[in-house]
């Protein structure tokens, strides 16, 4: 889907945006505000395993996913990487632009294919409105995610972290099956591929998941929640209060 197609097919023709914009931040906007913003939103494909932006790169666009999954990665020593945040349709990427920052604090890669609307950071700054309030609330939620991740990586074993990752990904993808290699996953969890293999083997032995080449299937969600560390619940709770605040305002 390109910007021209979309614009001609939906926006220009009807003069109203599609009633269901997949992204929840955008969908929470009052209709009149969304009308104003809509001409500046540009559809953008999220291609699996591609890089959306790099750490330290100038903030050019912010991205509002309608579907798919974006991972925020911290990298050190030019190699090792670690997922510090997961962004689905409840949020946005490059939110730091709303803080007046000039460069991105982390790397972002597409961890689940989908589509997003993107918006030039200048347009976001110029726009203001209710969106700005949502974006700031979202940044707070993201900080909780990152903070919790820091502690999680320090204190919790791989198996618990994997369980948490599967749950958080499942929540956002609304699916219990993912196509992903263990090698890719190892860069998310900040461990070696072999570590992922052993942890996944352990979860399978407990009949919580089932996995094969490029594929992981969640079998027992409740069991996974019991196995995952408390970080999942903490982040989940914070997300709910974020959603509550957003709906209060809209």
Residue ranges binding DNA (CB under 7 A): 157-159, 181-183, 190-195, 197-198, 200-201, 211-214
Which residue, 22 or 190, is less far from DNA as judged by CB? 190
Compute the distance between CA of residue 203 and CA of residue 150 in angstroms, rounded to an integer. 23
Which residue, 11 or 153, is less far from a second copy as judged by CB? 153
Residue 137, strand partner residues:
none
* Dihedral sign for Cα atoms in the order 155, 157, 159, 161: positive
Task: Please count the helices (runs of H) and the strands (runs of E) in the chain.
Answer: 11, 10
Backbone angles phi, psi at 65, to 5 degrees: -65, 135
Calculate ∠ Cα 112-45-34, nearest 5°: 105
Helix (H, G, I), strand (E, B) or coil at 23: coil
User: 103 contacts which partner out of a second copy, DNA, none, CB within 5 to 8 A by kind?
Assistant: a second copy
- C-beta of 33: minimal distance to a second copy in Å? 17
Which residue, 10 or 101, is less far from a second copy as judged by CB? 101
Q: How far is CA 226 from the centre of its chain?
A: 23
- C-beta of 222: minimal distance to DNA in Å? 23
Which residue, 103 or 197, is less far from a second copy as judged by CB? 103
User: 193 contacts which partner out of DNA, a second copy, none, CB within 5 to 8 A by kind?
Assistant: DNA
Is the distance from CB of 160 to CB of 228 less than 8 angstroms? yes
- C-beta of 63: minimal distance to DNA in Å? 25
Show the tokens assigned to 42. Answer: 């540009």
Which residue, 34 or 229, is less far from DNA as judged by CB? 229
Q: Which residues bind a second copy (CB under 8 A)?
A: 72, 74-77, 80-82, 84, 96, 98-103, 105-106, 133, 136-137, 139-140, 142-144, 146-156, 190, 229-231, 238, 241, 245
Is the distance from CB of 61 to CB of 121 less than 8 angstroms? yes
User: 197 contacts which partner out of DNA, a second copy, none, CB within 5 to 8 A by kind?
Assistant: DNA
- C-beta of 180: minimal distance to a second copy in Å? 20
């Amino acid at each position: 889907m390109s910007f021209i197609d979309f614009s001609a097919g939906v926006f220009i023709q009807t003069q109203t945006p599609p009633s269901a914009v997949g992204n929840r931040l955008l969908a929470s906007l009052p209709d009149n505000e969304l009308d104003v913003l809509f001409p500046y939103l540009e559809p953008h494909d999220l291609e699996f395993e591609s890089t959306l932006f790099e750490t330290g790169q100038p903030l050019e666009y912010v991205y509002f996913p309608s579907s798919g999954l974006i991972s925020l990665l911290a990298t050190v020593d030019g190699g090792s990487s670690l997922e510090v945040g997961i962004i689905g349709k409840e949020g946005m990427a490059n939110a730091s632009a709303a803080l007046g920052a000039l460069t991105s604090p982390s790397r972002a890669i597409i961890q689940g294919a989908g589509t997003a609307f993107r918006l030039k950071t200048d347009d976001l700054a110029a726009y203001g409105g209710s969106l700005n309030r949502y974006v700031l609330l979202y940044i707070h939620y993201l900080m909780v995610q990152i903070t919790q991740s820091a502690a999680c990586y320090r204190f919790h074993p791989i198996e618990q972290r994997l369980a948490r990752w599967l749950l958080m990904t499942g929540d956002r993808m609304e699916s219990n099956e993912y196509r992903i290699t263990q090698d890719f996953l190892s860069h998310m969890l900040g461990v070696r591929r072999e570590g992922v293999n052993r942890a996944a083997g352990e979860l399978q032995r407990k009949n919580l998941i089932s996995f094969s080449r490029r594929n992981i299937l969640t079998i027992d969600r409740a069991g996974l929640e019991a196995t995952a560390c408390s970080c999942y619940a903490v982040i989940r709770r914070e997300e709910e209060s974020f959603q509550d605040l957003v709906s209060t305002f809209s």
